[in-house]
Amino acid sequence: MGFENLVAKTKGYDKVRDLLPLQEMGMDLDLGFFLAVTSMMRFVDTEKIRLAGVTVDVDGKLLMLVNTKNLKTLPLKQQMFVMAHECSHIVFEHLLSCKKDESISAWNIATDAVINNILIREYNTKIDEVTDPKTGELKTIQLHKLISDGKVIPEKVGKEPNMMTSEDVYNQLIENSPQKPKQGKGKSDPNGDPNDALGNGDFSELDEIDENNFDTHDRSFDWDKVEAETKHDLGQVFKAAERNEYGASAGNYARGLSSVIKKHFDFSRLLDKIIYKKKIDFSREHRRVKLGGGLMFPRKHGEKMKIYVTVDVSGSCWDVTEDFLGYIMALPEFEEVSFFDVGIIETVVKGDVPPHKRPSCPAGGGTDLNPSMAHFEELEKAVNSEKLNFIVLTDGYIPPLTCGPTKSNVIIMTVGDDVEYERAGRKYRNINIREAVKK
C-alpha cells in the first residue's frame, strides 16, 4: 500500500499536533527522545488507515499519518505507545542497510516485533500495548507470541529472543509459515501486481497477522527520499540518545534498536588494508634489492605478526559480531578472541569454534574494556620479534581506559563512541562501523 493518494492534497499539517499526546510525552524525560523525533515530522489526520503510519512527503519531509478519531478511543498510555512505535519506524529506517521483500507482511511483522519488544522492555511503566477498545483484543505484534505460536524458533537461530535481529525474525517467519500458491491479488498488495514483491507464493497467514496489527505500513517508504537536513538531525538525536542524554531508558532503547538491525559489514575490505599495510621504503639499504641497470625494488619483508581480539558482549555491536569473527578467525595470524562485559568472560583461541550465540553475562550489567586492555598490555610486554595487532569490537560506551598497549597497532571497531588511551605512544585507530555501513 502506498500512501501517496492519502497525502497529495492534504494541508494544515501542524493542526494535527494538538490532537496527539505529545504534550504528555514531553512532560516525561524518558519519553523526550520520541518527542524530539516528532519535531522533525509533519502530521496528517486521515480515517483511511487504522491508527497510524509513517512515510516521506513529496518534498522529502518525514510524515506521520494518524487516524485521530480512532486514536482518541485509546487510553493515554496506549496513545503514547502508538507515537513511540511510529517514531521507532523512522529510526529503524535511518539505521537500516537492506530490506526484505519475499513477503512484505513478514517484513512488517518482523520489524514491528523487534520494535515492540524493545519498547515494552524499556518503557513498560510508561506506555501500554494497543488493544481494541471494544473487544480488548491485542492489536500489537508481540515477539513472544510469535515464538509461542511456533512461527519464530530462537533455538534455530542460536540466539536469545532479545538478541534476535529483524532479519532473524523475518527468516524464521518465512521458514515456519505455510505458503500457498499465488491466486490473483493477495492481501499484501490488494491494488498491485500479484507477482510483485510476493516471492514464490502467498503467505496468507502472515497477511492476516499484519492486517490485524494497529500499524499501517507504507510499502513504498524510501529513506533515500528523505531530505539531507532531516537525516542529519535525526542522526544527531539518535547519537544523543545512545549517550543517555535523554535518560537511561532512551539510551537502552536506542542501543537495543541498533542491535536488532543486522548490519552486513565487509570487514575484510577495510581491515586488510590496515593489518597488511606494506610501506614501500627505499630509504634504507636493507629494504632495497638492486638489479641490473641500476634498478631498485623494495625487498619483500616477511614480518611475523599476531592478532589478538576482544569483543564487547553488552549487546549494541553483537549484530555485526558474526561477520567480524568469520573474517578475523580465518586469518592465519589470528591467535585469540576474548569476550568482555565488566571483565573477560570467555576466550576462544586459534583452532576453536566461534560461539554461535552471545556468551552469558554475569548479573549486574555494565561494560569495562580495561581488563581486556590490561591483557593486551601484558602480551605487548612479553613480545619478542612479532608485530602485534590488537583489535577491539565495542559500542564505545565504557569507562575511561587506565591501561593498554602503547606501541602496538590498536584498532577500535565501534558502533558508538571512539576509544582513546592518553598514555599510548601510538594513537589508537577508531573505525565507526555504523558510518562505514552506510558508505
Q: Give tens-digit pLDDT for 179-194.
A: 765 544 444 444 444 3
Q: Are 415 and 397 a contacting pair, CB within 8 Å?
A: no
Rounded mean pLDDT, 289-296: 54
Q: At 297, give phi and psi (nearest 5°).
A: -130, 150
Q: Is domain 267-438 given the CATH code 3.30.160 in the classification?
A: no
Q: Tell me, what's the pLDDT at 258?
A: 81
- Calpha distance 121→92 (Å, rounded): 17
Q: What are the pLDDT digits (tens) for 139-163? A: 999 999 999 999 999 999 888 898 8
CB atoms under 10 Å from CB of 422, counted, come to 8
- Calpha distance 110→106 (Å, rounded): 6
Q: Tell me, what's the pLDDT at 15?
A: 80
Q: Is the predicted pLDDT of residue 334 greater than 90, yes or no?
A: yes
Q: What is the mean pLDDT of the chain?
A: 82
Domain layout of the chain by residue ranges? 4-259, 267-438
Q: Tell me, what's the pLDDT at 68?
A: 94
Greatest mean pLDDT among 2-6, 183-187, 322-326, 404-408 lies in 404-408
Q: Tell me, what's the pLDDT at 253?
A: 93
Rounded mean pLDDT, 31-43: 92
Residue type, 4: E
Q: Residue 161: exposed, middle, or buried by beta-carbon count in 10 A (0-12, 13-18, 19+)?
A: middle
Q: Is the predicted pLDDT of residue 12 greater than 90, yes or no?
A: no
Q: Tell me, what's the pLDDT at 283?
A: 42
DSSP 355-370: PSSPPPPPTT-----H
Q: Tell me, what's the pLDDT at 307?
A: 95
Q: Tell me, what's the pLDDT at 292?
A: 54
Query: The cell 585507530 sits on which residue?
Result: 429
Enter the C-alpha cell of residue 14. 501542524
Q: Tell me, what's the pLDDT at 357?
A: 66
DSSP assignment, residue 202? B
Residue type, 251: G
The pLDDT confidence band at residue 270, using thresholds 50, 70 and 90, is: confident
Q: Is the predicted pLDDT of residue 94 greater than 70, yes or no?
A: yes
DSSP assignment, residue 117? H
Enter the C-alpha cell of residue 351. 583452532
Question: ∠285-291-292 over CA atoms, to 5°?
Answer: 135
Q: Is the predicted pLDDT of residue 196 greater than 60, yes or no?
A: no
Phi-psi region of 390 (alpha: psi -120 to 50; beta: other; left: phi over 0): beta
Q: Tell me, what's the pLDDT at 188?
A: 43
- Calpha distance 29→59 (Å, rounded): 31
Q: Is the predicted pLDDT of residue 170 greater than 80, yes or no?
A: yes
Which run of H or E residues covers position 32?
A: helix 32-38
Point out the least confidently predicted range of 76-85, 172-181, 314-323, 424-433: 314-323
Q: What are the pLDDT digits (tens) for 213-257? A: 999 988 888 888 899 889 888 988 988 898 889 999 999 999 888
Q: Is the predicted pLDDT of residue 199 greater than 50, yes or no?
A: no
